[in-house]
Structure 1
Amino acid sequence: MDRTSQDMKRVGFFGIFKHSFKIIFKSTKIFAQIALTLILPLAIVFLAHIEITNRYLILSRIKNNEQYFSIYLSTTVTNLLYYILFKIVYLTLLAVFCVLSTATIVFTVVSVYTDRDVVFKKVMTLVVPNIWKKIFITFVTIYFTLFIYNAMYAFVLAISQSMFTHDSVFRIVVVTIIRILLVFPFLYLTIVWQLASVVTVLEKIHGFKALKKGKRLASGKIMVGMGIAFVLYGFLYGIILTVYILCVEHGNELYGDDSGLPMIWRVMIGILCGILVMMVFLLFIVTQTVLYLVCKSYHQEAIDKLSLSTFLSAYIRETMVNPKTDEEIQLERPQPQPLAQQV
């Protein structure tokens, strides 16, 4: 990441992945500490949510079988309450680990970019307490926009399905096309959300203002950002979770007999899937931080490394940053050089 601002604005899809891997391998120790401390629990919660959700959906479908209808009536209310409680716990843990992971990884990536030494203990004890409230507010706004998107997604699908009176090949094709088209708004929102998270850490805005800034930064590099999100989501949901559901969750049914997949293999595959999910989550946040730097350069918002390093120093109390009245440290313009360097 020793490129100038002018070089950074020309970085594309493969370049962002290249820089992201270089940053991770350059500071392997601290990224490993972050992954094991914050992202691994997030991956476990994520997989547990899929496991319990699928089991609840399977239980809900028992009502279609008259033989188990009485069992369904006696268990569905209790399981529904347990499921709602689990959803609350899941969203709470998801928010906590996402906030902590985003704060630590963004700070670490930018520290590597500015050639600063970064220590995991300092990041957790000094940086995170100063940032987590801002990121939490931004995540609340993200969840709000996600809720609106899901509501619109469900509405459009319901309307499209109601246009047909019976199942047919044409109905399946139309609904599939609509589902595919609805993926593009989600990818676009993903890029805005990711950039807003980085903006919250590195600039003096958060919440809806950060989302607005993320939307503005995304323009011009939107196809690059959507391509990155598509690849990572595709790898996560199309490969890792597919293998997990087939081999771990339904491993006892894999061979079509009572033996199923041996438990040792199911455990090993489950561990491997957990590790891969952890790596994808880490790469997601690293790439979104690099994308932020690229978008800033693309919009001619020069990122002065000295000013950025000073800004990061304030988080870990190495320096005191005292901006003038109504003036904040922004990465949109180069900051004044110290007098010793101007001479």
Structure 2
Amino acid sequence: MDLPPEELQFLSITDILKESSSIPKQSPKTFYLITLTLIFPLSFAILAHSLFTLPLLTQIDSPFGSHSSQWTKLLIFQFFYLIFLFAFSLLSTAAVVFTVASLYTSKPVSFSSTLSAIPSVFKRLFITYLWVTLTMSIYNIVFVGFLILLLIAVDTQNPILFFFSMIVIFLLFLVVHVYITALWHLASVVSVLEPVYGFTAMRKSYELLKGRTWMAIVLVFVYLAICGVINGIFGSVVVHGGEDYGILVRIMVGGLLVGVLVIVNLIGLMVQSVFYYVCKSYHHQGIDKSALYDHLGGYLGEYVPLKSSIQMENLEV
């Protein structure tokens, strides 16, 4: 992040990854504590989820026992799991984006100052997340609609309808789903660094992605693919590998995969922060560091009216 703002637009995907990986070196203690208290629990929960649900699903499939009580336990567990996942995902995003921005503006960084800023940042991210959820709900309705169309094509043995449904489903997941995810990640950064959130942050994110859409899609797709591989290996070795692997091997592999996912999530969060500055540079929207410094201070009760623009054209939410 030592490059002049106007040169950030020329960063390639490899450059962004290198730049993101080097950021924790600027404040290792802060990032270590963020990783330990926020990103590690999030990563562990993502992988360990199937370990807890598998016994319940096995009992539900069993012809013996009370299925209603097992379903109740499963639904309660899923509810609290989703709440935990949602909370720690937003908390991790708030902490990393705020810390990276503080380093970018040479603002003093510490774990305590990051924690102090999180409550205000969390509210903004939550409202933005609600708009993303609405967008994803519309996407899921369309996706399910084409899945039903695919089942109808199989049932009626209609090759044209089958081929059409498969192509649309493939494009919906590979392009639309990944694009919405990229839109959400960038909107999260916008919600922290600019005085906009919710729908306005989504719209600003859409504008920033123009010209850098495919770069964003590649970054998100690679991230999702790596997470998918990690989950796949964890499921086959740790969750379902009881007959083929010993307990020691499963513990070692599980610990290794959790560690890898922690690193992937940490770098992923920093990538979305760096990518924001790349998009701003690409659109020639210079960021006044002193104004951004004051904006970040507002989360800590140090707010000073903005002295200059951070290219925040829309102040309404």
Shared fold per TM-score greater than 0.5: yes
Query: What does residue 153 of structure 1 align with?
Result: 143
Instruction: Give the conservation status (yes or no) of the 8 Å contact 1:304–1:333.
Output: no
Task: Give the whole-Å Cα distance in 2 for the aligned partners of 1:186 and 1:80.
Answer: 30
Kept after mapping to 2: 8 A contact 1:100/1:128: yes
> 8 Å contact 2:288–2:309 — kept in the other structure?
no
Distance 2:58 2:168 in 1: 26
Kindly indicate whether residue 258 of structure 2 is the aligned counterpart of residue 274 of structure 1. Answer: yes
Cα distance in 1 for residues equivalent to 2:149 and 2:56: 26
8 Å CA contact retained: 2:98, 2:192: yes
Q: 1:205 aligns with which of 171, 196, 201?
A: 196
Does residue 141 of the first structure (1) align with residue 125 of the second (2)? no
**Quick one: which amino acid aligns to residue 141 of structure 2?**
A
Alignment partner of 2:242: what SS? helix
| Mapped partners of 2:102, 2:286: distance in 1 | 17
1:322 pairs with 2:313: no
Matched, 1:186 2:180: no
Change (3 A) 1:155 1:169: closer
**Alignment of 1:300 onto 2:284:** yes
Tell me the distance in 1 between the aligned counterparts of 2:86 and 2:247.
32
1:221 aligned to which of 212, 221, 240: 212
Q: Per-residue deviation at 1:316?
A: 2.8
Deviations for 1:270-311, whole angstroms, at most 9, x for unmatched residues? Answer: 111111122222122111111111111111111122222232
* Distance (Å, rounded) in 2 between the aligned partners of 1:149 and 1:87: 22
8 A contact 1:20–1:290 mirrored in 2: yes
Instruction: Please state how far the C-alpha of 1:89 moved relative to its aligned partner.
Output: 0.7
Following the alignment from structure 1 to structure 2, what is the Cα–Cα distance between the partners of residues 81 and 330? 53
Secondary structure at 1:220's aligned position in 2?
coil
Q: Deviations over 1:298-338 (max 9, x none)?
A: 11111122222232233334x431259xxxx752179xxxx
Post-superposition offset of 1:249? 0.3
Closer, same or farther in 2 for the Cα pair 1:167/1:139, shift >3 Å?
A: same
Alignment TM-score, normalising by the size of structure 1? 0.83
CA distance in 1, matches of 2:197, 2:188: 8
CA contact (8 A) 2:286 2:311 kept: yes
Among 289, 311, 331, the alignment partner of 2:310 is 331
SS of alignment partner, residue 163 of structure 1: helix
Deviations 1:231-277 (A, max 9, x none): 1111110x211110111001113xxxxxx311011011111111112
Distance 2:241 2:159 in 1: 31
Q: 1:3 to 1:230 in 2, by over 3 A?
A: same
> Could you say which structure has the greater relative contact order, defined with CA pairs below 8 angstroms and 6 or more residues apart?
2
Match of 1:313 in 2: 297
Q: How far does residue 46 in structure 1 lie from its aligned partner after superposition?
A: 1.4
Distance 1:191 1:330 in 2: 25
Q: How far apart, in 1, do the equivalents of 2:31 and 2:94 lie?
A: 13
Equivalent residue for 2:97?
106
Unaligned runs of 5+ in 1: 63-67, 254-259, 335-343
Q: How many angstroms apart in 2 are the aligned matches of 1:206 and 1:290?
A: 19
Q: Cα gap change, 1:46/1:20 in structure 2, threshold over 3 Å: closer, same or farther?
A: same
Give the partner amino acid of 2:4. T
Which protein is bigger by CA-based radius of gyration?
1
Change (3 A) 1:323 1:90: same
Is residue 59 of structure 2 the alignment partner of residue 76 of structure 1?
no
Give the percent of matched residue pairs that are identical in Structure 1 and Structure 2. 32
The Cα offsets for residues 178-225 of structure 1, whole Å up to 9 and x where unpaired, read as: 543222111100111001101111111111111111111111101111
Distance, in Å, in 2 between the alignment partners of 1:86 and 1:310 is 42
Contact 1:157–1:178 at 8 Å: present in 2 too?
Answer: no
- C-alpha separation in 1, matches of 2:59 and 2:134: 29
Contact 2:195 2:312 in 1 (8 A): no
Shift in Å at residue 116 of structure 1? Answer: 2.9
Q: Does 1:164 align with 2:159?
A: no
C-alpha RMSD of matched pairs (Å): 2.6
1:26-57 deviations in whole A, cap 9, x for unaligned?
32221111011011111122123333455555
Q: Match for residue 17 of structure 2?
A: 17
> How many residues in Structure 1 have an aligned counterpart in Structure 2?
312
* TM-score (normalizing by structure 2): 0.89
